[in-house]
Amino acid sequence: MKKRKFGLLISSVVATGAILGACGADEDKKENEGSTGSTDKGTETSTGDFSIAMVTDTGGVDDKSFNQSAWEGIQQFGKDHGLAKGDGGYDYLESKQDSEYNTNLNALIRRDFDLVFGVGFLFEDAIGKIASQQKDAQLAIIDGIVDAPNVASVLFNEQEGAFLAGVAAAKMSQTGKIGFVGGLKIPVIERFHAGFIAGAKAANPDIIIEEDYAESFDKADIGKMIANRMYSSGVDIVFHAAGGAGNGVFTEAKERKEKDANANVWVIGVDKDQYEEGQVGSHNVTLTSMVKGVGNAVIDISNRTKDGDFPGGQTTVYGLAEGGVGLADSRGAITADVLAVVEDFEKQIIAGDIVVPTHPDEVK
């Protein structure tokens, strides 16, 4: 059987600007070394007629996951429209702690960016407050809902993509034990959690699933500790939805692979294709990744706003049917027969024959 690819396929509406390339968040961070992402002396000022910016959560702009995907979308939009990094173009501010959300959002509004994104569910309170104070500001929140006419809310059906990840994990596991590591227990992560265990149970009712939360999106050491315990207990595949904390899951798997090239340890990445994160010598521990089109959603909302169609007061949802979530190419790690099973479940979800639960309690 010919091996199928399950790359993220964003619909033509969402994929404005084409597929995002790796835009090098680390390089941009170096440009701003010593700051939190604000314009410095080496940053240009654009003369375009529409500018966008974003505020990260505590995971940072180079979390190799959620924030980085959003920043890549911001950069791609800038490239598509000939903008430069800085005032009048595109930019970001990093939040080192939750208390900085309001400050950073207000700072970007004062710098006259036409559209400002808050990246993550945790921005709901901050954006809601600022939206009521700054009624002329155009704001957008990723993974949250703020009921205000000047806020565009963006959600993803993470549970649908995570369901497919669960199917792949359950079918590929050699030990019959797989694991899930979440960041914070918030609705968006619980959707990942619910979808994963639902998919795994659908593919193999006898599969054993270990579940834990790092209670953080930036503590890689905790993610590593959880992964160590899981792998030591016989888990061979761990799916993380933990942002920067999930980097610790990769670290643990790679260290085990370095010590023993035959070690049966795998990681399923999240938000963006994390294949490169799994590289260890001539091996790779990334089974696949549950990819969210965060960057493409940023581009879509930005283009609509630039064209005078700002979706304020609306919630835009991207799921499997819209091409907003899916599995990244497994690079051969997932066998062709398992990919065929994954594809079958994908078709059933899109057709509405399977409705994926959004909370772990619904599965159990």
The residue extents of the domains of the chain are 25-156+294-318, 158-291+334-363
What is the reported pLDDT for 83?
97
Question: Is 158-291+334-363 the same fold as 25-156+294-318?
Answer: yes
The DSSP letter of residue 285 is -
Q: Is 49 exposed, middle or buried (0-12, 13-18, 19+ CB in 10 A)?
A: exposed
C-beta of residue 46 within 8 angstroms of C-beta of residue 79: no
CATH H superfamily, domain 158-291+334-363: Response regulator (3.40.50.2300)
Q: Which phi and psi (to 5°) does residue 114 adopt?
A: -75, -30
Contacts of 73 (CB under 8 A, 6+ apart): 20, 294, 295, 296, 297, 298, 299, 302
| Domain made up of 25-156+294-318: CATH architecture | 3-Layer(aba) Sandwich (3.40)
The answer to whether 215 and 245 have CB atoms below 8 angstroms apart is no
Closest CA to 142 of 81, 217, 55, 218: 55
> How confident is the model at residue 308, as a pLDDT?
97
Instruction: Give CA–CA dist 282/314, Å, rounded.
Output: 47
pTM of the model: 0.83
Q: What are phi and psi of 91, to 5 degrees?
A: -165, 180
| Cβ–Cβ < 8 Å for 287, 168 | yes
What are the strands of the beta sheet with 325-327, ordered from one edge? 208-213, 177-182, 237-241, 266-271, 286-292, 325-327
**Which pLDDT score is estimated for 35?**
38
Q: How far apart are CA 317 and CA 134, in angstroms?
A: 25
State the number of CA atoms in the 13 A half-sphere of 165 facing the CB.
40
CB within 8 Å of 198: residues ≥ 6 apart: 159, 163, 166, 356, 357, 363
pLDDT of residue 300: 95
pLDDT tens digits in sequence order for the chain, 364 residues long: 333 334 333 333 333 333 333 333 344 443 443 334 443 433 444 446 899 999 999 989 998 888 999 999 999 999 999 999 999 999 999 999 999 999 999 999 999 999 999 999 999 999 999 999 999 999 999 999 999 999 999 999 999 999 999 999 999 999 999 999 999 999 999 999 999 999 999 999 999 999 999 999 999 999 999 999 999 999 999 999 999 999 999 999 999 999 999 999 999 999 999 999 999 999 999 999 999 999 999 999 999 999 999 999 999 999 999 889 999 999 999 999 999 999 999 999 999 999 999 999 999 7
Q: Which residues of 148-170 are buried (b: 16+ CB within 10 A; e: fewer)?
A: bebbbbbbbbbbbbbbbbbbbbb
**Residue 4 backbone phi and psi in degrees, to 5:** -100, 155
CB 200 within 8 A of CB 168: no
Task: Compute the 3-state secondary structure of the chain and give helix, strand, coil in percent, each to the nearest 5.
Answer: 40, 20, 40
Residue 264 sits at φ, ψ, to 5 deg, of -90, 75
